[in-house]
Structure 1
Amino acid sequence: MKELNTIHLNGLRAIEAAGRLGSLAAAAEELGVTPGAVSQQIAKTEALLGRTLFERSPRGLVATEAGGPLLARLSRAFAELAQAVAEARRRDELVLTVSVAPIFAARWLVYRLNGFAERHPEVRLRIDATTKLADLDASDVDLAIRVGAGRWPGVRSELLLEQEVFPVCSPALAAGLREPADILKLPAVIDENAMFSWDVWLKAAGLGGAKLSVRHTFNDASLALDAAIAGQGVMIAWQTLAGYAVMKGSLVAPFGIRARTGFGHYFVTSASRRESKAALAFKQWVREEVEDGMRQFSAIPAPSAVLPSSP
């Protein structure tokens, strides 16, 4: 153990992260520091060890002959430390930590949480709103809900809802829509981080190759939705993002045409850890809420589905 007193733990963390991830930038993002700071920590530790641990190559950082065995043992050691910390932090099974994207938390989950609390008053929820997929084996996160293709490595994924997209706009803008091609007359508000484009819906509506004029672009889907609610344009949205606003009447989903993106909402859990009773209860409740919400959403008639009769 005395050997460890000569090496700063931050230096070993920087070496392990850089070796595992293959770049200074990726290690810096994981550790929450700058690439320069990671580089300095590595250089200091290499000097203390008297060994060069990495070679810089076009492919990123490559472990040297001396660095390879050290990196392997460091990765195992830090994995054990992470597991020990997670187990120490993991509270009673009746405290459930759920990781969800901020947009899902704000536009779908938060409106419904009282329902879960009323059904399961013994469970206390902790919502971790983040876009990063948590390490479910080395953190206190019990369950995640993510949008994607469902092929995340090292975890168990379970389809919750296939993603469908459709245009939404304010009731005032929708008043002038009679057929799908009328959408092209409206300005668009764009979520630049969306996993799909307008082309997905335009093709489904028989308007493949058509383009909309862009009024505003946002790097956050929630802001784009608020712009649509404010009447600033039409947005391409999905069920859990816009369903509540459509049901409340602050947005309209004209024409009733929905297009699948190939993505879906998934429950993501650890492949090795047993799911707690609280996690299973939460999953069941979410499934029921999604199914009920989709029934209500599908029952809302599209404004242009029934055209006014001729005088």
Structure 2
Amino acid sequence: MYDVMLDEANLWHHEHEQEPPLRKRKIEEAPPPSPVEDVYFSDEEDPEEQEKYRLQVVESCGFDVDYCNHTYNGIMPGGCSPYDKLFAKAGLHCYNLEKGKKLEFRSLVKVNSEIGSLYNPYSTSEVMDPINNSIHTFQTLVTDAGYDNKARLILVTKICRIKPQVPGMGDATVFWDLDAIDDFYKGDMPDWPPNDDKLQFYEVNGLELPDNEWLHLYAEVALFSEWADDLSAYMPFEMKKVVVQTREDVESSMKLKSRNAIFYMSFKIRGGRECRGIVRRTSDGRTGHMCLEARCWIDK
């Protein structure tokens, strides 16, 4: 049931406190090995311990695995780096967009890592519902799909959910339906600025920005695609202009919520440098699925 649309990326997670290395990419439809069926255990491994691992993966979908005596292809406890935090925030954004929620990210609690053909962080976070200030445990699986088609960073969300109260329950369909994505949003990322008058563009006005704070997340994703580092010293960003491009025939105010859209952003980071970023958002329509592809220019 694990992994999905992108394969043969040379991703190796060195130390848990460090950022994963540079990502090589190739889009494929064949899924990589399962973290249950294709785990390599040592020859001396107790079959009961192997079964313990299998049950933990199946019952928690990989989020609550504390046994890691296998040597390859399995899920194991990892660290909580700024890299993992960004991916966890992207998964929460996918959930909010689907459910019409505004849950707020508070902290990254833990990350389990699956190292196969790609880097798959199974992250558990603490989030808050501002409506009643209630705290929830949030789980998301967001794959680092490397870079391709002029995108310097590709985040593929496969699971995003409030942690089920009963083990083994909850929806978690990780396989993507690539045919469901409009061909317009495939291939090379566009250049800056948009210049196709045949498509619908919508410039976000300043009054809409406070109700769409996730646009700052898109700016963070874009900048991370260029710098791949902890960006806390450069935040908060000052959003200057956001233009949305979509083929979906919806009212102007709803273009921000389009399932498939391209966002052109100009923003200023702390310290005064001007940046321009493009984020392409796509989905196959399945629960918990969202892909963000990003590129960025930092003006001198």
TM > 0.5 between the two?
Answer: no
TM-score, reference length from structure 2: 0.24
Choose between structure 1 and 2: higher strand proportion.
2
TM-score (norm 1): 0.24
**Radius of gyration: which is bigger?**
1
Q: Which has the higher contact order (CA 8 A, sep 6+)?
A: 1
Greater share of helix residues, 1 or 2? 1
